[in-house]
Chain A
Amino acid sequence: MTARVLLTGASSLLGAGVARALHGRGDEVVVLQRRPAAVAAELGLREVLGDVTDAAAVADAAAGVDAVVHVAGRVGVVGSREQFHDTNVVGTRTVLDAARVAGAGRFVFVSSPSVAHAGAALSGCDAEPADPRRAHGHYSRSKAAAELDVLAADAPGFATIAVRPHLIWGPGDTQLVGRIVDRARSGRLALVGGGRALIDTTYVDNAVDAVVAALDRADRGHGQAFVVSNGEPRPVAELVERICRAQGEAPPRRSVPRSVAWAGGAVAEAVWRVARRSDDPPMTRFLATQLATAHWFDQRRVRDVLGWEPRVSLDEGFARLAAAGSGAEIFSSEERTPGFSAGNP
């Protein structure tokens, strides 16, 4: 049985993938984001332009849908607490309200593992509850608050579920692959703490599958949050090296101690704030910690409850990345606004 689904944030890598997957199986997809999304034109989807905090636009887009997949969010480190709060907390409440008014029965929220990460190494942990007080940075705190709202809204007839994909990457990815390649090209790429930390990543197609699985299994997994990854954690250095190789760039040879990176991040954040720059600083305290601390996750519960498994292995993913061609083409076709993208920084 086909469904009518509202998808927010369709111009992001994950959003576009979800749009294609749902459309491809015959669901009727309505997309909502601020600027026209390439995927909407490509698939001929109904598109509503507007901000997720714009109740009228959201209500318009949500009219008559059976389910909502809420991907849109503000990511990165640039912006004030209020800006993150507006888009991620107020925006999510707006979409939740519209979904309930429209009579949707299922609500999938794309969240981030950082909502429960206070900075310590995470080795094989399951999804802990989101914690806005202990999470680091405006992004994680606002996503944590939003996730709590979403899961609290879970009720009979309105199944809500949160999916936290960890470090999405793939051809066309501006966040992880794009930044690494950018820096490699300009000779500014260095590892933190030797790149020893073991981290999970998620090939974009697997994240798409997981979101679709959450939508389909919302009856089983409702009220819960799930971390999603490839289940193949690797040291940061290896991931960076393989991304570089897949993109024809030389892997980094330099490494800076974690403390230096952290201090550098603090300086960069201050400079960027003073200069009111809207791009991301090259290093942030959050990033320094993320790059130097293990974070990989127990995937047993998510696989059991959602009946989902990653289809694309790391090896296959890197092969596809290489086959997709050099980074230059990828980035020219993708808009790089700091405001809307999927997943996590």
Chain B
Amino acid sequence: MSLPPPGLAGLEARWSREVSATDTAGHLRTWHVLDSHVGLADDAPEPVGTLLCVHGNPSWSYLWRRLVAAPPEGWRVVAVDHLDMGFSDRTGTVRPLAQRIDDLDTLTDALGLTGPGSSGWVVPVAHDWGGPIALGWSLRHVDRLAGVVLSNTAVHQPEEATAPTVIRAARLPGVLPTMTSRTRMFIRSALFLSRPIPPREVRDGYYAPYADTSRRHAIQDFVADIPLEDGAISAEPLDAIADGLGALADVPVLLAWGPRDPVFSDLYLRDLLGRMPHADVHRYERSSHFVPEDAPTYAADVARWVRTRSLRADAATPRREAPTSAATERPLWAGISERAADPAAADRAAVTDLGPDGVTATVTWAELDRRTAEIAAGLASIGVTPGTRVALLVPPGADLTAALYGLWRASAVAVVVDAGLGVRGMRTALRSAGPAYVLGVAKGLAAAKVMATGAEPIAVGPLSATARKALGVRWSLAELERRGAEAPAPAAPTGDAPAVVAFTSGATGPAKGVLYLHRQLQAQREALAALYAITPDDRLVAAFGPFALFGAALGIPSAVPDMDLTSPRTLTARALGDAAAAVDATLVFASPAALTNLVATASDVSAPGAAALARVRLLLSTGAPVPAELLHDARRLLPAAEAHAPYGMTEVLPVADIDLAGLDDAGLGNGVCVGRPVPGVELAIAPLDVEGVAGAPAEPEPEVTGEVCVRADHVKERYDRLWVTDDAATPGPGWHRTGDVGHVDADGRLWFEGRLLHVVVTAQGPVTPVGIERRVEGLPGVARAAAVGVGPAGTAQVVVVVETLGDGSGRGLAPATLRDAVRRVVAEGEPKAEVAAVLTIDRLPVDIRHNSKIDRVAVGRWAQRVLDGRRPGRP
């Protein structure tokens, strides 16, 4: 062996160490390893355990340098170079998988990690083809494992996945030596899979041990060893590992995955999850194959996981505990079954679909109950097992309702992806959740196919034979129902079974999957029913996406007005009136953007529609803060309705509630008043320090601004496949950090001041945006405002960007009168802030789903360009 040359980026010479071990053929081999504990004093405390890092091909221990530099506190990190790889011996032999597992065994014996007299805990950390080697080794030492961390690897070729193209190409006759050993092409093409592509000095680090053909042989041998055909020498050992992973059922596993990997795609992640369903998953949305290289936080995240989840975790507090109050055992579809069993209700409409000319279809409670039962049995009959993920790309209406509750009756997990995420957001969301099936109308299935989710399509509604063939559809919902009529009913899920993966709006970064269990949705149903005194005598019109599905859960008839639910601005007064008339509505759920257009089109309402709206008892506006004036305006159309605005988010809803009188009473303050916490919700505030960092959640103190934290039975279970994100958002059992900042006032009312991400950290301390924006929006001629920061956090300057009514004044510095007016109103209220500049813009960017959440990060970047004197462009 030799040693790495000095000066490789990020590598310290003192980590390098030679270890000699006799291999199974009796030859003494010398290995090169990086060891975080080399040179430590003899009386240094025993490490808690050892992270044994195993690289793949083409790579070497250099891949793990950041983990060696920053081990989990108290832990040791050892990163090995395989024989014939990195700076370990060149043996002149070919070493297939089984041999490499034996080799690793001889090395860990020599290191004293295994073998006679050894003790201590090990967490294998592996990447790429290091995965099978490390897992093969792990299966021999299960009693020593404190955990396993795997990145972009495989133990089996999933049927849906064609073998990685680059691998197939590399193995074409005559190509292999050229690509792998005669040239650096294989290393180079692998490195250029990285996102972002590493800088030159890091690429040089990866090339360092592979200077000439004689040192690159194993790169070729590794590729040749991949068992793509039956009878390949390593096929049987690999199968044995794949089949043996059940032995790790009690070992914590982290799958730290880079989804942009063209080699080990999400299909391989799904395969591993199928074999180790207990694994924690974190998908680094922006990372590719070399996750330890690509994800800047990889080392810190692995350390966090080892310290909180491994069998040698720090004196850990349990992250979850049993629900504080027993959730009801009424399943989510109980409302449907109970109404179907009630002769007085069974033949009445449960879901009413409307088109431009009125009612297009209805489904009765009896029909809905039968359909959901048949869909459940039909799904089970084609192999949908409990926990199987099924994406729904179906517009709201009877079919969606039947499909969703049918999925739940089959213990399947619904993946709800709404078009409000935009095409890119939908693609990201679908790929992150990794559904096995996608249930959709023709358009939805076509989209899913384009997005290459790998999910099996199930058609909803009519589909031509040609389209059916083109989309590869084997089953339709109608066929499932027919099969289900003959098939046995699947077992109902328990309260702890996962029910749904929904998605955040993505207004602050990529949309995050949010997973709920059945009992949590049940608790949400009970919380809403109690809060708004909903009884079976109520009838709902839902003009806000998620609530369109709640009617069935609550056991009340529901209708969706003729509108594009993904674009709230398309709600007209005529459509709402017609829907209200069709079901004789008592409840209307909408969002602020929908209400805005409702008010604008108030004169178009039909006479029966107006009469029906006048009988509505409750108007809910949710999804974003609602101005009191808008609710007043909306109530002219719904004069009998009490107007309420629940506050919450995808992760927990409702958190708080306020009615119109409460909004009027609250007036202007530091933020938007969102009312008092609803029964069953515990609130805490994590105060912001001068650097804008939220500390530990504490009992709310009046007027202290911090991150809003919530505990309730209807809080989400976790962020889906985002273990690190979820851990950071979970300050204690059952608690959720909302990412919103706000305060509680002396009367116990909660005020929303903005998103944590949007807090401007000035030299005087943190400044929250919403209070400033509300005051500015009260100025004549101002449509919308965003308060953002320019300059580095800690010394940032507050800038107010104003979207003006009418023609506006274009993009740039605001006229002096507007500027002075903005400074005046900001000075009058809370939060106190010095405004460095006031800019105008023709249109502030908002999110697609709510059409109201301003993308302050983009606005901030734009303001920075304007005020730097650079070409500003658009936000």
Contacts and interface: CB of A to CB of B under 8 A. Distances in A.
Interface of A: 121, 123-124, 193-198, 231-235, 237-238, 241, 258, 292-294, 296, 298-300
12 contacts: A121-B868, A121-B869, A196-B813, A196-B866, A196-B869, A233-B797, A237-B813, A294-B867, A296-B791, A296-B797, A298-B795, A300-B763
Contacts of A231: 763
B66 interface: no
Contacts of A196: 812-813, 866-867, 869
A235 B837 contact: yes
| Interface-centre pick from B763, B790, B834, B869 (highest chain A CB count, 10 A) | B869
Contact of B790 (A193, A194, A198, A238): A198
A197 B795 CA distance: 17
B213 interface: no
B859 to A, nearest CB: 16
Interface in B748-803: 763, 790-792, 794-797
B834 to A, nearest CB: 7
Contacts of B870: 121
B816 interface: yes
Nearest to B863: A198
Interface of B: 763, 790-792, 794-797, 812-813, 816, 819, 834, 836-837, 864, 866-870
A121 B819 CA distance: 23
A221 to B, nearest CB: 18
A142 to B, nearest CB: 26
Given A196-B812, A294-B869, A238 B837 contact: yes
Contacts of A298: 763, 792, 794-795
A124 B836 contact: no
A293 B868 contact: yes
A237 B763 CA distance: 24
A234 B790 CA distance: 12
B868 A233 contact: no
Contacts of A232: 834, 836
Interface of chain A, main secondary structure: mixed
Contact of B869 (A124, A193, A238, A241): A193
B867 A238 contact: no
Contacts of B794: 298, 300
B869 A258 contact: yes
B836 A123 contact: no
A121 B792 CA distance: 13
A300 B790 CA distance: 16
A235 B813 contact: yes
A123 B868 contact: yes
Given A198-B797, A292-B869, A123 B790 contact: yes
Interface of chain B, main secondary structure: mixed
Nearest to A242: B816
Nearest to A291: B869
Contacts of B790: 123-124, 198
A121 to B, nearest CB: 4
B763 A123 contact: no
B826 to A, nearest CB: 14
A69 to B, nearest CB: 27
Nearest to A231: B763
Given A232-B836, A299-B763, A198 B792 contact: no
The 10 closest A-B pairs by CB, nearest first: A124-B791, A121-B868, A197-B869, A198-B867, A298-B795, A294-B868, A123-B791, A124-B795, A292-B869, A293-B869
B796 A198 contact: no
Given A296-B797, A300-B795, A123 B813 contact: no
Contacts of A193: 869
Contact of A194 (B791, B796, B812, B834): B812
Given A196-B812, A293-B868, A294-B868, A234 B837 contact: yes
Nearest to A120: B868
B819 A124 contact: no
A293 B865 CA distance: 10
A34 to B, nearest CB: 37
Given A123-B792, A233-B797, A194 B813 contact: yes
B490 to A, nearest CB: 60
B868 A198 contact: yes
Nearest to A121: B868
Contacts of A233: 797, 836
Contacts of B797: 124, 198, 233, 296
B690 to A, nearest CB: 10
A124 B796 CA distance: 7
Contacts of B836: 198, 232-234
A300 B868 CA distance: 21
A238 B864 CA distance: 17
B792 A124 contact: yes
A300 B690 CA distance: 12
Contacts of B834: 232
Contacts of A294: 867-869
| Interface-centre pick from A195, A196, A234 (highest chain B CB count, 10 A) | A196
A218 B816 CA distance: 42
A242 to B, nearest CB: 9
Nearest to B796: A124
A78 B75 CA distance: 64
Contact of B837 (A198, A241, A293): A198
Nearest to A122: B868
A294 B866 CA distance: 9
| Interface-centre pick from A198, A237, A241 (highest chain B CB count, 10 A) | A198
B24 to A, nearest CB: 60
A300 B691 CA distance: 12
A300 B791 CA distance: 14
Contacts of B812: 194, 196
A337 B842 CA distance: 48
Contacts of A123: 790-792, 864, 867-868
